[in-house]
């Protein structure tokens, strides 16, 4: 099915199942431990051996020699696989660094070997016996140093300009020129990167924790140099990913190589310390923002430039993309700068680009509002635009940012906020309120599904879409139930298998909308097939309560399959509506904080998110997505910081003891409001996505609240107490 004209009324609009706060259909399996994750596929791959990954202890250089003799002789050891005996390996199109290094070393903890043994403990003990002689080389590990030395490029794209920024900025009566920094961030998902691999002749099956099954399958085939059709990837349940599992990682390759070497299944999981330096992270940024405005608060010039680093061949963190679209202003400049750093690979993490970009932009907007003596909410509203500022002929499909801001301000009690910083007090706590706007683009991707109608009237959905705790099983079941007129208990959903039709996968906030649209397309075909079997006109047939009704006839849906199971397959293919209309999701975040006047400790007191994100397919799971994202925003604002050892080029705090993330005690009341919205330009579902929108802007809302509470403006994340203490008001 091709989607190239705006959606009109369709069966989804009945909202009998879609749009309801349905419990997760896979919830019972997960709460009882019956949902097998990648490392637990013991029945599918019995008698598995264990692999333990060895990582490089230098960040850049070469391996002069590797002596694996003692490791191979250790108790229980079956094999030691290195680049020397693994055979020729390729590089996947989504990978920056080689997944099995040697002799060249590209980053610290790049995998250089995997030890296979009968038990995990034996493999781990033998791995310590591997003797590696390195030739270290001088690396580049300091983003600020490379920026100051001018050792950076344009990041693959030239600056985007509209009008004359420099002239307009110089002429503006009110100006801001400020620099903001965000540190490196780790995904820190609960389930580690884990895989079990087994070979049947020349065919490879890998049970893995991967968000994008088809991408992973293709890159695994490329890496191993075998045909894609010889590879099967299975990923039915994922314990969190946040972008860290979008692409093929070392443990899947090493499990496959290990299984080949020992001729039996091999399971490999990355240990928590290994994950921080071996797998991708969100790169640190240095961002310069300049805003010029007239005295009445109209932005006349805006520039956003960002510096980030990556390995050779990597891409920059696109922290400027939201600034191209969020506010009006005739004269504009945005650009990314990329420094070559010999740190582990930088890549996608939840809301890549917008998350760190809005952490800077939305502080800058508050700073300008203060210069102009305009309320921060009103300053944002005053600079609203209904079209792409760089292309006024391209309108937004939907844009309800002002409504998000006004609704949030009213619900949060913004009117009670004293605009004077450090003026609100609750005992020893300085109290502040902050706001930030949110934007995340609506991305779509071709997505397919296969539907089966059994003689018992049960519809089974098969698609390689994944569920990393986001609720994919449930919204896909809701879509099939709505389309086929069935209750949810008559729908079975099977996900995460490359034997199924290729879907959008989970990432970029495109998963829910695209994958359900693919199920919609397949359901339209199944409805047509059913109507034909029953002698009905599909264009007027109604599917409800397990029955099909048309022209005065009412026949059970199951009757269409009495001669045998009906099987159909289709995909949604998106046309050029995204080119004709700018499709984005919008939100507003409001946060109240308390800052201890004596210690500088910051505590979140309450949070509110207002979201305009198309049709909300399941308000319960959507709310879970948003509050989880808001919690990640608290971490980014107040505590998360991958600390770089700038001498040796690795992340020092590479575990959950040293890399701090929010816990339950850090998160108070969170409220989420979804505006009632449909976007017919987006898909037949008229939905978009919320999983990343909920993170966008949260950090800045917290930073703005901290400033309002204390009068101390911090531009260097995280906002830790050591940065606040020297500048706090005198205790009285």
Which of the residues are catalytic? 692
CA distances from 304 to 72, 332, 336 (A): 54, 9, 9
The SS3 call for residue 516 is: helix
Other Cβ atoms within 10 Å of 592 Cβ, number:
25
Could you tell me which residues are beta bridge partners of residue 603?
594
Nearest to 464 by CA among 565, 571, 566: 571
Alpha carbons 156 and 314: distance in angstroms, whole number: 10
Q: Which residue has the tokens 């037949």?
A: 684
Nearest to 311 by CA among 286, 355, 288, 278: 278
Alpha carbons 3 and 621: distance in angstroms, whole number: 26
Q: What are phi and psi of 348, to 5 degrees?
A: -60, 135
Other Cβ atoms within 10 Å of 495 Cβ, number:
25
Half-sphere exposure of 689 (CA within 13 A, CB side): 32
* H-run or E-run covering 114: strand 111-117
193: which DSSP letter?
P
Alpha carbons 613 and 625: distance in angstroms, whole number: 13
> Following DSSP, what letter does each residue of 5-22 receive, concatenated?
S---S-GGGG-SSTTS-P
Alpha carbons 545 and 531: distance in angstroms, whole number: 16
In the sheet with 160-162, reading across from the earlier edge strand, the strands are 160-162, 331-340, 299-310, 285-293, 174-182
Q: Do residues 144 and 99 lie in contact, with contact meaning Cβ atoms separated by under 8 Å?
A: no
Half-sphere exposure of 495 (CA within 13 A, CB side): 37
Q: Do residues 123 and 117 lie in contact, with contact meaning Cβ atoms separated by under 8 Å?
A: yes
Other Cβ atoms within 10 Å of 504 Cβ, number:
29
Alpha carbons 692 and 239: distance in angstroms, whole number: 17
* H-run or E-run covering 435: strand 429-441
Helix, strand, coil shares of the chain, percent, nearest 5, are 30, 30, 45
User: Rg (Cα) of the chain, in Å, rounded?
Assistant: 27
> Following DSSP, what letter does each residue of 270-336 receive, concatenated?
--HHHHHHHS-BBPPEEEEEEEEE-TTS-EEEEEEEEEEEESTT-----TTGGGGTSS--SEEEEEE
In the sheet with 566-574, reading across from the earlier edge strand, the strands are 2-3, 566-574, 447-453, 459-462, 491-494
Q: Do residues 409 and 665 lie in contact, with contact meaning Cβ atoms separated by under 8 Å?
A: no
């Amino acid at each position: 099915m091709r989607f190239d004209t705006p959606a009109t009324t369709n069966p989804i609009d009945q909202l009998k199942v879609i749009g309801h706060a349905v419990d997760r259909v896979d919830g019972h399996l997960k709460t009882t431990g019956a949902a097998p994750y990648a490392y637990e596929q013991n029945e599918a791959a019995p008698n598995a051996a264990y692999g333990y990954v060895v990582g490089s202890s230098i960040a850049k250089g070469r391996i002069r020699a590797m002596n694996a003799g003692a490791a191979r002789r250790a108790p229980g050891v079956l094999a030691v696989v290195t680049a020397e005996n693994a055979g020729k390996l390729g590089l996947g199109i989504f990978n920056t660094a080689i997944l099995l290094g040697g002799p060249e070393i590209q980053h610290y903890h790049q995998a250089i070997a995997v030890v296979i043994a009968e038990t995990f403990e034996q493999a781990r003990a033998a791995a310590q016996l591997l003797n590696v002689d390195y030739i270290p080389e001088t690396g580049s590990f300091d983003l600020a140093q490379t920026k100051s030395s001018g050792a950076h490029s344009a990041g693959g794209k030239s600056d985007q300009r509209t009008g004359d920024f420099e002239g307009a900025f110089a002429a503006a009566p009110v100006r801001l020129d400020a620099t903001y920094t965000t540190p490196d961030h780790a995904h820190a998902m609960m389930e580690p990167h884990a895989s079990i691999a087994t070979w049947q002749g020349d065919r490879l099956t890998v049970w893995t924790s991967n968000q994008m099954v088809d991408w992973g399958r293709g890159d695994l085939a490329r890496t191993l140099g075998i045909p894609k059709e010889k590879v099967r990837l299975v990923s039915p349940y994922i314990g969190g990913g946040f972008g860290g599992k979008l692409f093929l990682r070392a443990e899947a390759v090493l499990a496959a190589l290990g299984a080949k070497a020992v001729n039996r299944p091999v399971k490999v999981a990355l240990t928590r310390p290994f994950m921080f330096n071996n797998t991708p992270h969100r790169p640190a940024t240095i961002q310069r923002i300049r805003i010029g405005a007239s005295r009445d608060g109209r932005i006349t010039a805006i520039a956003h430039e960002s510096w980030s680093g990556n390995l050779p061949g990597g891409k920059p963190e696109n922290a400027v993309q939201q600034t191209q679209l969020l506010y009006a202003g005739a004269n504009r400049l945005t650009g990314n700068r990329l420094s070559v750093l010999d740190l582990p690979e930088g890549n996608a993490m939840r809301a890549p680009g917008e998350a760190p970009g809005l952490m800077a932009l939305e502080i800058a907007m508050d700073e300008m509002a203060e210069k102009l003596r305009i309320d921060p909410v009103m300053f944002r509203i005053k600079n609203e635009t209904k079209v792409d500022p760089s292309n006024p002929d391209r309108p937004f499909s939907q844009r309800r940012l002002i409504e998000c801001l006004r609704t949030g301000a009213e619900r949060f009690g913004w009117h009670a906020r004293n605009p004077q910083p450090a003026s609100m007090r609750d005992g020893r706590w300085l109290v502040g309120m902050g706001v930030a706007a949110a934007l995340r683009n609506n991305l779509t991707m071709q997505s397919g599904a296969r539907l089966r109608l059994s003689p018992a009237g049960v519809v089974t959905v098969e698609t390689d879409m994944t569920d990393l705790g986001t609720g994919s099983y449930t919204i896909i079941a809701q879509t099939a139930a709505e389309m086929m007129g069935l209750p949810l208990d008559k729908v079975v959903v099977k996900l995460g298998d490359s034997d199924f039709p290729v879907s959008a996968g989970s990432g970029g906030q495109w998963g829910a909308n695209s994958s359900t649209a693919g199920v919609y397309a397949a359901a339209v075909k199944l409805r047509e097939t059913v109507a034909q079997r029953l002698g009905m006109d599909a264009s007027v047939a109604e599917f409800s309560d397990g029955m099909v009704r048309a022209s005065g006839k009412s026949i059970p849906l199951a009757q269409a399959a009495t001669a045998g199971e009906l099987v159909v397959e289709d995909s949604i293919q998106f046309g050029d509506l995204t080119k004709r209309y700018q499709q984005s999701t919008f939100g507003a975040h409001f946060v109240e904080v308390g800052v201890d006047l004596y210690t500088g400790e910051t505590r979140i007191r309450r949070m509110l998110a207002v979201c305009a994100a198309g049709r909300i397919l399941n308000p319960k799971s959507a709310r879970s997505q948003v509050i989880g994202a808001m919690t990640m925003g608290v971490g980014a604002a107040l505590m998360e910081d991958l600390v770089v050892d700038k001498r040796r080029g690795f992340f020092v705090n590479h575990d959950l003891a040293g890399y701090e993330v929010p816990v339950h005690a850090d998160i108070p009341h969170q409220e989420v409001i979804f505006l009632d919205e449909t976007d017919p330009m987006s898909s037949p579902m008229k939905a978009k996505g919320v999983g990343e929108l909920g993170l966008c802007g949260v950090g800045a809302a917290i930073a703005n609240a901290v400033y309002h509470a204390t009068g101390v403006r911090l531009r260097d994340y995280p906002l830790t107490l050591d940065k606040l203490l020297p500048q706090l008001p005198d205790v009285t």
